[in-house]
């Protein structure tokens, strides 16, 4: 999947190409079966009925996977929560399990990945249709494979017969071409179906699987279950093993993903999908947790390297919220004086930064030991923007906008992207209740 979303040709031709592939395997194969001399002749009425019924389900589920909106958050109420992540691209709070899709241009509820073949996000609202599409696609391919196998077996049985008594060259070419395309398509879609079923049963999206793998890599490198890290404000954060909290039991996982506990509707093509709602858990705004962690809300795990970078005394490494709040109430002359003071401070910090960069370029801060140098590169490789999983995939390969991604932030650290106006408004809400200025 890596790289497909960034190819302009794939973006423009993916859906027409999929439709062309379905039409070719579905109807060209039936044309060969009915209008050629291939034994054992045309499929029976029952075989034709079952095959074409599967095709109808396939077409409809693919249509829904492409056209159903992946979900959006409407902030009609006043947001007064001071905790939680903030999406600087949407300029709005980002609920748990949501990610900003760089293709859809907004935060997607329970984003799994942006699929290039549907040109749509696989999310909380589209997952049921995407799963049904994969199920009916695989069932249709398996039945087509069975029909093709009958023709190949008949050819093998008649291998000692004179060639002129067998099928025509055109029929053999059509059979071979259809079989090759069917084989490779079945292999690709079977892999997609297995990975999607795994996500469905364990209630773990592809992005969360990436985060989980990265968390295991950090733990393995750390060598212990937890350790203390000093944050940007001098507070100590305890980095510890975080269990994946959204696996609440296989049946509950599947019912939550399909939007209903009625298993009979899970693979019904005309069934609906979940909708974003604040009324219940598992509806896009909040999610039920299994209680394996100390407290709720510990997912996603923190990024130790990001905490270390935030703690460095570099310019703009950490916002001074107190100063911003005070400056908001200053007079015009006082603001000018404060601005000149900040300019002088920035100049001093810039000189300090240049000195530190010169030391790093000369490896003075690293040391001569090769192991120390390897440790530096290992730490860099765990950066959320650079780290790749075992398949070589980064967050952007799932469609996530890494510039807007705050999934690795811890609590108050996520407020670094919250605009000052929003922080002021939240403070007014808390202090004045409903009387918002």
Rounded to whole angstroms, what are the CA distances from 249 to 253, 281, 292, 429? 6, 15, 13, 39
- Cα 149 from chain centre: 38
Q: Quickly list DSSP for 378-401.
A: HHHHTSTTT---TTS--GGGGTB-
The tokens describing 100, both together, are 């900003």
The tokens describing 152, both together, are 């190949």
- The single residue of 87, 101, 115, 121 carrying the catalytic annotation is 115
Q: Is the dihedral of CA 287, 290, 291, 292 positive or negative?
A: negative
- Distance, in Å, from the CA atom of 38 to the CA atom of 169, rounded to the nearest integer, reads 11
CA-based nearest residue to 62, from 143, 126, 112: 126
What are the phi and psi torsion angles at 121 (to 5°)?
A: -80, 140
Long-range CB contact pairs, 401-405, < 8 A, 24+: 401/89, 401/99, 401/100, 401/101, 401/102, 403/88, 403/89, 404/87, 404/88, 404/89, 404/90, 404/100, 404/102, 405/99, 405/100
CA-based nearest residue to 3, from 378, 348, 392, 305: 392
121 among known catalytic residues: no
- Distance, in Å, from the CA atom of 185 to the CA atom of 315, rounded to the nearest integer, reads 53
- Distance, in Å, from the CA atom of 220 to the CA atom of 224, rounded to the nearest integer, reads 7
What does DSSP assign to residue 260? -
CA-based nearest residue to 72, from 52, 50, 86, 90: 90
Give me the active site residues, please. 115
């Amino acid at each position: 999947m890596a790289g497909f979303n960034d190819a302009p040709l794939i973006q423009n031709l993916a859906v027409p190409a999929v439709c062309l592939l379905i039409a070719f395997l579905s109807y060209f194969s039936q044309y060969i079966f009915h209008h050629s001399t291939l034994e054992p002749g045309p499929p029976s009425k029952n075989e034709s009925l079952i095959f074409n019924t599967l095709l109808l389900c396939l077409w409809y589920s693919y249509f829904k996977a492409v056209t159903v909106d992946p979900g959006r958050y409407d902030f009609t109420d006043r947001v007064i929560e001071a905790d939680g992540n903030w999406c600087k691209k949407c300029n709005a709070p980002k609920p748990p399990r949501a990610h900003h899709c760089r293709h859809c241009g907004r935060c997607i509820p329970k984003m799994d990945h942006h699929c290039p073949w549907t040109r749509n996000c696989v999310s909380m609202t589209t997952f049921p249709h995407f799963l049904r599409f994969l199920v009916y696609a695989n069932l249709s391919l398996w039945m087509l494979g069975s029909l093709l196998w009958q023709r190949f077996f008949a050819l093998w049985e008649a291998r000692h017969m004179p060639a002129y008594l067998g099928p025509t060259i055109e029929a053999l070419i059509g059979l071979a071409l259809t079989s090759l395309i069917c084989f490779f398509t079945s292999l690709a879609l079977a892999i997609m179906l297995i990975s999607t079923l795994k996500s469905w049963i364990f209630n773990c999206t592809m992005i969360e699987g990436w985060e989980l793998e990265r968390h295991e890599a950090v733990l393995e490198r750390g060598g212990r279950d937890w350790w203390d890290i000093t944050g940007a404000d001098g507070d100590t954060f305890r980095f510890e093993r975080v269990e994946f909290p959204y696996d609440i039991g296989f049946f509950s996982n599947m019912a939550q993903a399909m939007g209903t506990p009625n298993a009979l509707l899970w693979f019904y093509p005309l069934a609906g999908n979940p909708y974003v709602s604040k009324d219940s858990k598992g509806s896009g705004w909040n999610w039920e947790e299994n209680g394996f962690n100390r407290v709720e809300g510990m997912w996603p795990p923190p990024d130790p390297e990001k905490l270390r970078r935030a703690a460095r005394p570099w310019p703009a490494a950490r916002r001074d919220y107190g100063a911003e709040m005070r400056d908001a109430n200053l007079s015009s002359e006082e603001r000018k004086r404060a601005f000149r003071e900040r300019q002088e401070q920035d100049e001093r910090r810039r000189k300090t930064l240049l000195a530190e960069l010169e030391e790093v370029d000369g490896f003075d801060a690293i040391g001569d030991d090769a192991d120390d140098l390897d440790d530096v590169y290992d730490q860099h490789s765990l950066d959320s923007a650079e780290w790749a999983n075992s398949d070589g995939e980064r967050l952007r390969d799932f469609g996530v906008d890494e510039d807007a991604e705050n999934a690795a932030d811890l609590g108050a650290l996520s407020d670094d992207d919250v605009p000052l106006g929003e922080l002021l408004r939240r403070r007014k809400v808390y202090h004045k209740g409903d009387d918002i200025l």
